[in-house]
């Protein structure tokens, strides 16, 4: 099901993603699918990826709007912002990530519980 969701991105993505700051997708890079689930949380508390170009996918399976930003170990927000305002919305971008620990956050007010750890190795 995860891969069906990823494949659907190319059909359903609708203009919200501004990819100007994002490197082109390179096939073979690792993908991280982050699902927003009911209860104001991500599906998993932790995610992992291989260093390099990481395809980051936000899938909204809840009834509230969500977005996704990536914060590095220096508390710097990386130049990627995914947006999934409605249930079943999917957004994605590919960003180069060095090994390290990152936070995956939803910045919508009141959604501070949507905070997962992404470990890149």
The binding site for Cu ion (CB under 5 A) comprises: 66, 106, 108, 111, 114
Residue 19 beta carbon to Cu ion: minimum distance, rounded to whole angstroms: 21
With respect to Cu ion, which residue has the nearer C-beta, 20 or 63? 63
With respect to Cu ion, which residue has the nearer C-beta, 52 or 65? 65
Backbone angles phi, psi at 70, to 5 degrees: -120, 130
**Cα(116)–Cα(6) distance, rounded to whole angstroms?**
20
With respect to Cu ion, which residue has the nearer C-beta, 35 or 66? 66
With respect to Cu ion, which residue has the nearer C-beta, 49 or 105? 105
Residue 52 beta carbon to Cu ion: minimum distance, rounded to whole angstroms: 27
**Cα(69)–Cα(21) distance, rounded to whole angstroms?**
14
The order of strands in the sheet holding 41-42 is: 41-42, 31-37, 52-60, 90-97
Is 104 within 8 Å of 41 (Cβ atoms)?
Answer: no
Residue 36 beta carbon to Cu ion: minimum distance, rounded to whole angstroms: 6
Residue whose CB is nearest to Cu ion in the complex, by number: 106
Residue 42 beta carbon to Cu ion: minimum distance, rounded to whole angstroms: 9
Residues 6+ apart with CB under 8 A from 12: 89, 90
């Amino acid at each position: 099901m995860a891969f069906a969701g990823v494949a659907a991105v190319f059909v359903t993505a609708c203009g919200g993603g501004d990819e100007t700051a994002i490197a082109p997708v390179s096939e073979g890079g690792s993908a991280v699918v982050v699902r927003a689930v009911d209860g104001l949380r991500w599906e998993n508390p932790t995610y992992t990826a291989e260093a390099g170009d990481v395809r980051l996918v936000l899938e909204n399976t809840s009834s509230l709007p969500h977005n996704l930003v990536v914060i590095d170990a220096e508390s710097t927000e990386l130049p990627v912002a995914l947006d999934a305002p409605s249930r079943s919305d999917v957004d994605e971008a590919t960003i180069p990530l060095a090994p390290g620990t990152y936070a995956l956050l939803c910045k919508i007010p009141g959604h501070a519980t949507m905070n997962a750890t992404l470990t890149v190795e």
